[in-house]
Amino acid sequence: MTTRGRKIKPGRITFVGSGPGDPGLLTTRARAVLANAALIFTDPDVPEAVLTLCGSELPPPSGPAPAEPATDNDAQAHSDGEGEKAPATTSAIPGGPDIRPALGDPAEVAKTLATESRTGVDVVRLVAGDPLSVDAVITEINALTRSHLPFEIVPGLPATTAVPTYAGLPLGSSHTEADVRGDVDWAALAAAPGPLILQATATHLADAASTLIEYGLADTTPCVVTAQGTTCQQRSVETTLGGLNDKTTVGANEPAGPLTGPLIVTIGKTVANRAKLNWWESRALYGWTVLVPRTKDQAGEMSEKLVSHGALPIEVPTIAVEPPRSPAQMERAVKGLVDGRFQWVVFTSTNAVRAVWEKFNEFGLDARAFSGVKIACVGEATADRVRAFGINPELVPSGEQSSLGLLDEFPPYDDVFDPVNRV
């Protein structure tokens, strides 16, 4: 009796727009899809900050470790008298996302997506900007529809609207967009109403400007060229069509050097609004690069504050908080606390609070172990961490938030142990 193999259910193909650059502008749906994505085909100009989100919520690797490659001697040693080899060791189930470039023309990319989907794997096609705003991706989707495989489209915020907003350039209800890296109807573009928004690279600017002038736009028409839009590295240069037409690389005379990568060019009278509405590049720390030397777990909050003021944070942990080589000292301290040998417990950092509570969890203890003990904390952040466990500290320095500040205020709280007069 023979049985048919079970037919594999195709995986879902999801086209996700990465937005203009800032990962904070991703939609909630896009973040969820990327965080759980195991196989991603991506455009080359998707920002690195977006790629780091891919697979962040995938389960850790599981299964046995991969087998070492077998040598000729190993194969001979594992064969039995009849020359049969021992079965191969099962390889581990890999962890982490598989991120690949989307190579080839749109039809080839669509074929690759379909092939992977038919193996039962969910596939993510990560697109710079918005999927249905890119002609090549639209061609991919149309080709994919002929395969009758399930697919989904998660829109992204188009760079052609987000970047002018971050450059302080209102577009209004009527504007025209064009990608001058491909074929363009220049006559229609020059005659279009409202601001013109062009997608380009530095090599396209001079030809685009000269062609627009040839079709009737004045060479004095103002424009703004923006690179790395919506990120803390965004740079905008104000010029005119005539200025773009002189073959000089935009921004070449600035200290930061010429503008590179994908560019957004905003052309028209709206440029006059930039003096009043330039909210992003006018922040207090804009253009600063700041090293954040805190521990990896604690750097995030500081980095977010720096970004909110315009700085580009670079996290370089110079310290690491690790458990002691021997747990004996901590275990003795916890035992002494339970036995009532201490009158005061002083927490000098949030790391200390976390370390004690981890040890409490290990021993099955809770906040009741601090019954009859007074608590002092250095700093409000440390005190808040203690309060989160249902304990209100008796002493937090009101002045200097340091160990010295604690010593200055400690004596009135205990007339038996005075760390100032007795040390």
Give the DSSP letter string of 279-317.
Answer: -STTSTTTT-EEEE-S-TTTHHHHHHHHHHTT-EEEE--
| Residue 85 clears pLDDT 50, i.e. is over it | no
How many Å apart are CA 262 and CA 234, to the nearest integer?
12
Q: Are 378 and 402 in contact (CB under 8 A)?
A: yes
Quote the pLDDT of residue 230.
95
Q: What percent of the chain has pLDDT over 90?
A: 54
Domains detected in the chain: 13-59+95-157 (3.40.1010.10), 160-277 (3.30.950.10), 285-320 (no CATH), 327-409 (3.40.50.10090)
Q: Is 26 buried (19+), middle (13-18) or exposed (0-12) by CB count in 10 A?
A: buried
| Residue 297 clears pLDDT 80, i.e. is over it | no
| Residue 142 clears pLDDT 90, i.e. is over it | yes
Instruction: Calculate mean pLDDT across residues 274-282.
Output: 95
| Residue 119 clears pLDDT 50, i.e. is over it | yes
| Residue 342 clears pLDDT 60, i.e. is over it | yes
Q: Is 33 buried (19+), middle (13-18) or exposed (0-12) by CB count in 10 A?
A: buried
| Residue 93 clears pLDDT 50, i.e. is over it | no
Encode pLDDT of 12-32 as tens digits: 999 999 999 999 999 999 999
CA dihedral over 272, 273, 275, 279, signed as positive or negative: negative
Q: pLDDT band for 184, please (50, 70, 90 cuts).
A: very high
Quote the pLDDT of residue 53.
94
Q: Residue 268 has what DSSP assignment?
A: S
Instruction: Calculate mean pLDDT across residues 339-349.
Output: 87
Quote the pLDDT of residue 249.
63
Instruction: Calculate mean pLDDT across residues 390-415.
Output: 77
Q: pLDDT band for 251, please (50, 70, 90 cuts).
A: low
Average per-residue pLDDT in the chain? 85
Q: pLDDT band for 328, please (50, 70, 90 cuts).
A: confident
| Residue 417 clears pLDDT 60, i.e. is over it | no
Q: Say what the pTM is.
A: 0.71
Q: pLDDT band for 247, please (50, 70, 90 cuts).
A: low
Rg of the Cα atoms in the chain: 31
Q: Is 423 buried (19+), middle (13-18) or exposed (0-12) by CB count in 10 A?
A: exposed
| Residue 71 clears pLDDT 80, i.e. is over it | no
How far does CA 22 lie from the centroid of its chain? 8
Decide which of 321 and 50 is more confident: 50
| Residue 306 clears pLDDT 90, i.e. is over it | yes
Q: Which residue in the block uniquely carries the two structure tokens 């038996």?
A: 416
Q: pLDDT band for 321, please (50, 70, 90 cuts).
A: confident
